[in-house]
Amino acid sequence: MNACGTSCMGRNRNRVVPLVCAAGLLVSAALALRLGAVRLSFPDIVSGLLGGRDDAAGQILRYVRLPRLLAAVLAGAGLSVSGVIIQTVLANPLASPGIIGVNAGAGLFAAAAMTLLPGSLWAVPASAFLGAFLTVLLVYETARKAGASRMTLILSGVAVSSLMTAGINTLVKLYPDILADMRDFQSGGFTGVTAPLLLPAGLVILLALGLALFFGGELSVLALGEHTAQGLGLPVRAFRLLFLAAAAALAGAAVSFAGLLGFIGLVVPHIARLLLRDGGPRTLIGVSAMMGAAFLLLCDTAARTAFAPNELPVGILTAYFGVPFFLWLLFKGRRRRGD
């Protein structure tokens, strides 16, 4: 096939994949609103959303399923795009917010905020961002000084993640009354999510997504490598900190209401890259956001309905998908290196 044909196929793929992802997100949202202990018809959903019905169906829709839907969309998009940024900035395809301890750091600082400032809506997402940002900087600097290989980064992240998880468990033991819900938090899920709880974290995620899209060109230059990016005139250190802060904001805000959901930031960016092949950074970010939102919506719907009336933590389902995918990436990387 000639170069023109290959290029045209790539452009067509980059047009089709976002449309398919958007359609998949809409279908996932419709299923999330319809399925549950009480099944709602599509006329019920439409009238409940537009007409403000006060019957049981309308209340279930507005106060339970719609907040959960928004929470899953925001968390899935935030964690996925955070994974895109971290993998690009750290030049490591195995990196993700869950793997290198960013989620655990956000969880520790969020638990500390719940303990010290109970009832504050902004304290938890702000503390989660701070914990995520400090964790990603700690892991990056530790790996850089130890040799900066891909496995060194992952092992540093595992060590830091274990330390942060130990801190969470310590707080739970010391303040069992305040942190009674941390068991669910550590599994990850959307039980009890409300609109007031979601609002501050949702704003942070939307702002960070906008920032990532706006500076998508700089992210693609940074992906070329530090020396190449400097040769092209990009202030590498400043943009690396900017992108790591955006990744920390996305992951930290998601953790503040969704708990310690793992592997979404690892799995989704890789699948998006496989589908797009040669898509630009903004396309990759947009597709990853929609795919992550749809994936987490489907996982949450399955967690609510598969074993009804019992409900599984959605983090269990994401781990079932994520662990085999991580092992596949690990062995694939070893085969490429000839280890």
pLDDT, one tens digit per residue, over 156-197 is 888 889 999 999 999 989 988 878 777 778 888 898 888 888
Q: Where are the alpha helices (DSSP H) in 100-258?
A: 102-116, 123-146, 150-174, 182-187, 195-214, 216-222, 226-231, 236-258
112: closest CA among 93, 98, 94, 131? Answer: 131
**Do residues 157 and 95 touch, judged by C-beta distance below 8 A?**
yes
pLDDT band at 214 (very low <50, low <70, confident <90, very high): very high
Q: What is the pLDDT of residue 147?
A: 63
Give the pLDDT confidence of 277-289 residue by residue, as tens digits: 766 888 999 999 9
For helices 264-276 and 314-337, what crossing angle results, to 10°? 60
Burial class for 35, CB neighbours closer than 10 Å (0-12, 13-18, 19+): middle
Taking the C-alpha atoms of residue 297 and residue 291, their distance in angstroms, rounded to an integer, is: 10
Task: Reply yes or no on whether the pLDDT at 10 is more than 80.
Answer: no
Q: What is the pLDDT of residue 53?
A: 62
Task: Reply yes or no on whether the pLDDT at 51 is more than 70.
Answer: no
Q: pLDDT exceeding 90 applies to what percent of the chain? A: 39
Q: What is the pLDDT of residue 142?
A: 80
90: closest CA among 153, 142, 174, 133? Answer: 153
Q: What's the rounded mean pLDDT across residues 225-238?
A: 88
Q: What is the pLDDT of residue 8?
A: 58
Structure token digits, residue 1: 């096939």
Specify the higher pLDDT residue, 145 or 324.
324
pLDDT band at 86 (very low <50, low <70, confident <90, very high): very high
288: closest CA among 13, 29, 22, 102? Answer: 22
Specify the higher pLDDT residue, 146 or 320.
320
Task: Reply yes or no on whether the pLDDT at 339 is more than 80.
Answer: no
Structure token digits, residue 10: 């790539």
Sorted by where each starts, the structural domains of the chain and their CATH numbers stand as 12-337 (1.10.3470.10)
90: CB partners within 8 A, 6+ apart: 100, 140, 153
Taking the C-alpha atoms of residue 123 and residue 43, their distance in angstroms, rounded to an integer, is: 39
**Do residues 51 and 38 touch, judged by C-beta distance below 8 A?**
no
